[in-house]
Amino acid sequence: MAEALVEEDPQRIRADDMAAIIAALDGIAVTAQPAPSTTTDPSRHWTLTLTWLQKGPVSSDTQAALPQVLTRIREHFTAQDRTPPHCLQLLDQDGTPLVEVTPGSCI
């Protein structure tokens, strides 16, 4: 069972991008799968949104690893000469923000 859902954004995330995002999360032992987008972010500095499916808070180990995940994802987009997500936001199942990671942030 997936621990997180990654919102698909057909205008920004292609199949190879989604594979890179899921691989980056898998690298920190978080299983994820794509899900239809429930938010819209038309700005140039877009947010990659994930929904946390686990009960309870996000572990401190996962929180500490999220900046590295964002870096890997941003590197993938940059290597493709495309605009990377500005930040990564982790929401609970009700849409309440749990964690937000921006470049260079330390949780």
Per-residue pLDDT tens digits for 27-36? 999 999 999 8
* Buried/exposed code over 52-69 (b: 16+ C-beta within 10 A; e: otherwise): bbeeeebeeebbebbbeb
| Counted domains in the chain | 1
Whether 107 is covered by a domain: the verdict is no
What's residue 105's pLDDT? 57
Whether 106 is covered by a domain: the verdict is no
What value does the mean pLDDT take over residues 11-28? 96
> Where in the sequence is the domain holding 86, given as residue range(s)?
4-101
Q: How far is CA 83 from each of CA 50, 76, 100, 101, 106, rounded to the nearest angstrom?
A: 18, 10, 19, 17, 22
What value does the mean pLDDT take over residues 76-103? 93
Q: What is the CATH number of the domain that holds 40?
A: 3.30.429
Sheet hosting strand 97-101, strand order edge to edge: 32-35, 4-7, 47-52, 87-91, 97-101
Whether 91 is covered by a domain: the verdict is yes
What value does the mean pLDDT take over residues 43-54? 88
For 16, other C-beta atoms within 10 Å of its C-beta total 10
Q: Rounded to the nearest 10 degrees, how much is the dihedral formed by the CA atoms of 39, 35, 14, 38? A: -10
The pTM for the full model equals 0.90
